[in-house]
Structure 1
Amino acid sequence: MRSISDLDFARKVALDLLSVRPRSEAELRTALAKKNVPSDVVDDLCARFREVGLLDDAAFAATLVTSRSEFSKRGKYRIRQELREKGVSDDVAEEALAEVSGDDELTAARAVAAKRSRALEGLERHVAQRRLAGTLARRGFSPDVVMQVVKETLIS
């Protein structure tokens, strides 16, 4: 038996989690469920946190997209997958991903390719192409971007 009410306990757990990093509503709900917080308390808490701006999936998605595209050099496919895993709705994810232009994605892919190409020196051309294409695909870049960057990188 807890010495504090379920709502107070849930609030403390939620604030502790949100103080570490932003979270989606689905992530927060999952974490609270693991702590055996009743679902009605979770619903009330999430509603209150949305009202005061502590829980905002659109802002969370925008922050994650910016972070992953600019700093981690990830492509839209990979970012979309990560947003899905974190429980962000497809509509919210697409809205956030719309902020990443094709040029931004191409620039990020070129940066990854430039870094990776040093390790590919001395390999046969087809092996280098395959490895670079695989690296870019795993980072979530579209097939068009991958092919364009592979051609640019290995031709020059």
Structure 2
Amino acid sequence: MSSTDETAAPGTPQEQTLERLRAAVARAQAGQPSPGGQGAPAGPPPPETPDDDADPRAVARAVVLRALTGSPKSRAELERTLRRKGCPDDVAAEVLDRMEHVGLVDDEAYAQMFVRSKRTGRGLARRALQHELRAKGVDDETASGVLAQIDVDDERDVARELVAKKLRSMHGLERVVQTRRLAGMLARKGYSSEISRQVIAESLDALPEHQRD
């Protein structure tokens, strides 16, 4: 499996969502209206550091737009960014509510892209993904809805790929050592003990070095 960042592969629904969000950010920064008729701040975004005359809402919008240009963010991550910039909580809530209304902030779409990226790049299972989404500030209900779309058989297949890759560097080791290391690797990636035991046993049984003469 190849390593990826938090972006989706070309042509996927997740990438289309990401490109749509980025296009919306670009339109907002350029002062162009969105296709749905929602307006955006006209002219270049104001500086992130407000002066005495700066409109705090305009500053907050600029901070959010800049943050979203680099990569998708959860609402909680944007809230933390605004707090670091000294934005009042009520202003941050108002601006982020508006961003959600026009589709620039969408925790469900963010979670879908995040999950796909981490499964492809690191082979994470649902338990680990739930933990990482929680750390990103995605609420448990949204995270659970996205993670429920992962098929158990597909998760088992990913575990097999991880084990097969790890075994390439474990030739010659005793079976008990291989089992312990593989189980630790899968546990760190969030796989259940049931899936781990099954996949490890099947993979080791298939190796010539563990087959009986």
Q: Which has the higher helix share?
A: 1
Deviation at 1:125, TM superposition (A): 0.9
Deviation at 1:14, TM superposition (A): 0.7
Aligned length: 156
- What is the TM-score normalised by the length of structure 1? 0.95
Counterpart residue number, 2:131: 81
Point out the structure with max Rg over C-alpha.
2
Q: Secondary structure at the match of 1:12?
A: helix
Q: Distance in 2 between matches of 1:5 and 1:153?
A: 61
- What is the TM-score normalised by the length of structure 2? 0.71
Stretches of structure 2 that go unaligned for 5 or more consecutive residues are 1-49, 207-213
Within a 5 Å distance, the mapping from 1:72-111 to structure 2 comes to 72-111=122-161
Q: Kindly provide the CA deviation profile for residues 47-66 of structure 1, in whole angstroms up to 9, marking residues without a partner as x.
A: 10010001111111111122
Letter of the aligned partner of 1:155 in structure 2? D
Q: Secondary structure at the match of 1:119?
A: coil
Q: Distance in 2 between matches of 1:143 and 1:4?
A: 56
Aligned residue among 116, 130, 133 for 1:66: 116
Stretches of structure 1 that go unaligned for 5 or more consecutive residues are none
Counterpart residue number, 2:70: 20
Letter of the aligned partner of 1:118 in structure 2? R
Aligned residue among 138, 149, 153 for 2:203: 153
More deviation, 58-67/22-31? 58-67
Q: CA RMSD in A?
A: 1.2
Superposed structure 1 runs of 4+ greater than 3 Å apart: none
Within a 5 Å distance, the mapping from 1:12-51 to structure 2 comes to 12-51=62-101
The percent identity for this pair of structures is: 40
Q: Kindly provide the CA deviation profile for residues 49-93 of structure 1, in whole angstroms up to 9, marking residues without a partner as x.
A: 010001111111111122222343111111000000011111101
Ranked by relative contact order (alpha carbons within 8 Å, sequence separation 6 or more), the top structure is 1
